Amino acid sequence: MRGVKKENLPSKECIVCGRPFTWRKKWEKDWEEVKYCSDACRKNKSASK
């Protein structure tokens, strides 16, 4: 993903809050498994819509 503009990064929608979030370097190895946009949403899994 080096050299890619922010607007061209892949994005997903959080399964808890429904907000879109974009790819981050720390998720490089496990982007397919990322489901939550933040730790707060991960902690509130039961509140998913």
- Which stretch of DSSP H or E encloses residue 43? helix 39-43
Q: Is residue 1 part of a domain?
A: no
- Give yes or no for a contact between 10 and 37, defined as CB atoms under 8 angstroms apart: no
- The model's pLDDT over 12-47, given as tens digits with 9 standing for 90+, comes to 999 999 999 999 999 999 999 999 999 999 999 886
What local confidence, expressed as pLDDT, does residue 16 receive?
A: 94
Q: How far is Cα 18 from Cα 6, in angstroms, rounded to an integer? A: 20
Tell me which residue has tokens 């929608």.
13
Distance of CA 25 to the CA centre of its chain: 11
Q: What pLDDT band is residue 7 in, cutting at 50, 70 and 90? A: confident
The backbone torsions φ and ψ at residue 20, rounded to the nearest 5 degrees and listed phi first, read -75, 145
Q: State how many domains the chain has.
A: 1
Q: Is residue 43 part of a domain?
A: yes
Query: What's the domain range around 18?
Result: 6-47
What local confidence, expressed as pLDDT, does residue 20 receive?
A: 95
- Which stretch of DSSP H or E encloses residue 47? none
Decide if pLDDT at 1 tops 80: no
What local confidence, expressed as pLDDT, does residue 48 receive?
A: 59
